Structure 1
């Protein structure tokens, strides 16, 4: 019994230590002005943040970059205190996640605009899509609505009037070609192109698969005046931190802007 009691006491101490660590991570203290950790999705967001880190380093700030391959984990990590900042999402996506998860996180400044495109391995134009073909859209909040709106703009489907950011394929009211709409994970869409006639893919995942808006998309959003700007996001308690204000200066810097323009050649544009 004495051994069992000792073991229980040790386990209880361990749990209390973990709880204390979690409490520290969730504190509302200001972010460090010397070193921060920023979460991004792999691809363009990662590339641009690396350039921002170069600019920030000259001014004495170290930016550690953590790369994610999905759209959900970076917000969870930020809300839980495992990241200081993340940079990868549109305000529409963020608002949908906050409404669903009640995360206390907010956008602070614009970063990049990624026009969404429709891609295909089997057809070269929308006119070649046939009755009964399969098309694919992202299955996450706001991105599915955005993709459905893109297929609507392409003339293939029609959404019911008043449909908002939480729209799914169930909100399609006109589908003359009787297309089968598949809702798939955003990151998996490029690998599924061989299984569908066409898919609406976010630019960062498209580029990760070697696809570009200008050369490969059979239809796409315009880059200019695109309502889907991406934002840098922090916990609500850190919105006015000094390092966040400095990070905006580093990100919206002429050197970074030139890097974006030269690297992505119009497929991705600065949002500011």
Structure 2
């Protein structure tokens, strides 16, 4: 009789454990832009799956829709943007979205198919930059950091071409959607292109004529809705991303063009 009761107790315990595990299991949709962010999430997926969280990766072709989709609940998280961009989106659009973890840094670079160095860029040339305030501003700040233009004092992270106070080469700026900047390279002297879009477009890194320093404020992040930030799956997602396996994947795959930032 004791054996039977023990057996029943074990069986009941196993059933409870199975029910608890089932209750903890989650399937979450994470928005990314094509290229490195999607590749890194593929490396995160099996690690999260071992902890009961199934990741479905949803790719978006621009920088605006992923936050709209997250705010509306169509996806549960996104991993594609740096913190200043999210702050700008929240201020402009009222999104109730939170930064829950740092991921990687993509040093912004300026590429050219026509010229081997910035010094070769002729006076009056057209430079393509992103048309969203944060990334376009970042491009102008890169040019200022290299001593090539000057901007008004106090412009913060979102200067525009209207804020340029000194432009020795009399450069013209073509503002275009970030995802489309690689396509301008045949038509402009140079283009500022976010690393993920340059990688997706197969642009040779040898075309880089200017690049940001490795350290800066533009660390990419994982974002979730404010109402979800304390849910267990968020911790699983972050912990799965912040693992030595994922760090090694980033370092071996991208060879320094993308840097782990945790």
Same fold (TM over 0.5): yes
Residue 261 in structure 1 maps to residue 256 in structure 2: no
Matches within 5 A, 1:147-166: 147-166=139-158
The higher radius of gyration belongs to 2
Cα 1:32–1:221 shift into 2, 3 Å: farther
**How far did 1:161 drift?**
1.1
Matches within 5 A, 1:235-246: 235-246=225-236
**How far did 1:61 drift?**
1.7
Cα 1:212–1:236 shift into 2, 3 Å: farther
Cα deviations across residues 45-97 of structure 1 (Å, max 9, x unaligned)?
00000110121122332100100110000000000111100111011000001
Query: Take 1:210 and 1:56, find their aligned partners in 2: how far apart are those partners?
Result: 30
Provide the secondary structure at the position in 2 that maps to 1:109: strand
Query: Take 1:146 and 1:64, find their aligned partners in 2: how far apart are those partners?
Result: 31
Instruction: Specify the alignment match of 1:59 in structure 2.
Output: 51
**How far did 1:199 drift?**
1.1
**8 A Cα contact 2:51 2:236, kept in partner:** no
Query: Take 2:122 and 2:147, find their aligned partners in 1: how far apart are those partners?
Result: 13
Matches within 5 A, 1:193-212: 193-211=185-203
Residue 50 in structure 1 maps to residue 42 in structure 2: yes
Cα deviations across residues 142-176 of structure 1 (Å, max 9, x unaligned)?
11111001112233211111112332111111111
**8 A Cα contact 2:110 2:209, kept in partner:** yes
Instruction: Specify the alignment match of 2:217 in structure 1.
Output: 227
Instruction: Specify the alignment match of 2:108 in structure 1.
Output: 116
Q: TM-score, normalised by structure 2?
A: 0.88
Q: TM-score, normalised by structure 1?
A: 0.85
Query: Take 2:36 and 2:148, find their aligned partners in 1: how far apart are those partners?
Result: 30
Segments of structure 1 that go 5 or more residues without pairing to the other structure are: 1-30
| Higher mean displacement: 80-89 or 153-162 | 153-162
Query: Take 2:250 and 2:211, find their aligned partners in 1: how far apart are those partners?
Result: 20
Matches within 5 A, 1:1-272: 33-211=25-203, 213=205, 215-223=206-214, 225-272=215-262
Query: Take 1:134 and 1:187, find their aligned partners in 2: how far apart are those partners?
Result: 18
Q: Which runs of 4+ in 1 moved over 6 A?
A: none
Provide the secondary structure at the position in 2 that maps to 1:189: helix
Query: Take 1:270 and 1:74, find their aligned partners in 2: how far apart are those partners?
Result: 22
Count of residue pairs brought into register by the alignment: 240
Cα 1:198–1:32 shift into 2, 3 Å: farther
Cα 1:172–1:96 shift into 2, 3 Å: same
Cα deviations across residues 5-37 of structure 1 (Å, max 9, x unaligned)?
xxxxxxxxxxxxxxxxxxxxxxxxxx9742111
Query: Take 1:116 and 1:266, find their aligned partners in 2: how far apart are those partners?
Result: 13
Give the RMSD, CA atoms, in angstroms.
Answer: 1.4
Provide the secondary structure at the position in 2 that maps to 1:194: coil
